[in-house]
Amino acid sequence: MIIAMIACVVLVGVLCVLAFNLATYAVPFMAGLAAARFAYHTGSGLIGAGLVGFAAGLAVFGVLVGLLIFLRSPILKTAIVLAFTAPAAVAGYELVWGIAHEYVPSAIWLQLFCISGGIFVGVSALLRLIGGMDTVPDQKVRPS
């Protein structure tokens, strides 16, 4: 039993590190997946659906980056970043639940683990996106 609990904690830690690195791309990935499923079910084939999904994911990520670059209002930037980090927090919660529900017998502790995992992944995605907000420096005119 102790070995299983230690394995659970180690596995949750490894997957949370992976989720920290990939959480920024949760919304573009889901948009690409939805577009690929739609394209596949309309008869485009496996390769065509993959290309459509990849293009849709790139387009959504491009919109995110474009909005963060061109918007000047910090309130609008924060709203866009929060809209992109909310699915990352849900993904972190589900990730921890998928691993820990077999190993944690108490429902209260399971919920505490899942909520903390969702918070950690959401905050990680938020910090990564906030770090990319000021990607374009202000244009200053140099005296000649």
User: Angle 139-85-32 (CA atoms, 0-180°, nearest 5)?
Assistant: 95
Query: Most distant CA pair in the chain: distance in Å?
Result: 73
Q: Which residue has the tokens 């969702």?
A: 118
pLDDT at 36: 94
In this prediction the pTM is 0.66
- pLDDT per residue, tens digit, the chain (144 aa), is 778 878 877 887 787 677 667 777 778 888 999 999 999 999 989 999 999 999 999 999 898 888 888 888 888 888 888 888 888 888 889 888 888 888 888 889 889 989 998 898 888 888 887 775 555 555 555 555
Instruction: Give the other-Cβ count within 10 Å of 109's Cβ.
Output: 11
* Domain range annotation of the chain: 14-131
Distance of CA 51 to CAs 8, 55, 127, Å?
Answer: 36, 6, 30
Q: How buried is residue 81: exposed, middle or buried, by Cβ count under 10 Å (0-12/13-18/19+)?
A: buried
Helix, coil or strand: residue 39: helix
Kind and range of the H or E run holding 4: helix 2-22
